[in-house]
Amino acid sequence: MFSTDFLIGRQYGRGMSAHTLKTIAIVAMVVDHVAWAFVPTNSALGQVMHAIGRLTAPIMCYFIAEGYHHTRNVVKYALRLAVFAVISHFAYYFFEFGRWPVSAEGINMYPTSVIYTLLLGLITLIVWNSDRLGTTLKGIIIFILCMAAIPGDGASFVVLCILGFGVFRGDFKKQAVAFLVSMVVPSFVLSRQIFRVGSLLVIPLLRCSRTR
């Protein structure tokens, strides 16, 4: 889902490598999924495991924003994400409901995986940086993209998080504030689940990333 530079492990400066960050995201995702499947959410263990799992989404958002700047062809980048969004939908739906999303009525597209939401976040960055669109039209399109993200895992929080990481690239303090405003605070307020604050742990990880 990331651009070619990140897939081959290219480094940008000193600190934690892109490969290490991706590994952390994958491990955190596995821990989170195991917790959803086998551990009661309100138990102490469940809260800890889900807190660890909150690392995955912001790391993904960060790499989408970085990938936008480093990819050689953003259209191909978006198409790759679109293909993975379609493929991952079937696995995500099966995990959520224990059945495939295909029925006599067609294919159920709601809800769907975070890959779909990441794709919309990438498109949002493309729109934001477009020289052909005026400010008002950009705002309208980004609003529509945020609404379109609702069926996806992470919904508009992911889209706005990617936008924040991309717009404030090069200024980590502003990126961190944008992350707090777009993802951490609203997700905690809406869910009232203490494990949501686990996503704060991603800030020191990204701060020491070589990809910045």
- How confident is the prediction along the chain (212 residues), in pLDDT tens digits per residue? 444 333 323 444 457 788 999 999 999 999 999 999 999 999 999 999 999 999 999 999 999 999 999 999 999 999 999 999 999 999 899 888 888 888 767 778 889 999 999 999 999 999 999 999 999 999 999 999 999 999 999 999 999 999 999 999 999 999 999 999 999 999 989 888 999 999 999 999 998 876 65
Tell me whether residue 212 is in a domain.
no
Tell me whether residue 128 is in a domain.
yes
Q: Whole domain around residue 202: which residue ranges?
A: 4-207
Q: Which 8-state DSSP code applies to residue 184?
A: I
Tell me whether residue 68 is in a domain.
yes
Whether omega before 186 lies within 30 degrees of 0, making that bond cis, reads no
Tell me whether residue 115 is in a domain.
yes
CA dist., res. 155 & res. 165, Å (int): 16
- The pTM of the full predicted model, rounded to 2 decimals, is 0.87
| H-type alpha helices, the chain | 4-7, 18-38, 44-53, 56-70, 74-97, 114-128, 135-148, 155-167, 172-179, 185-191, 202-207
* Number of domains the chain contains: 1
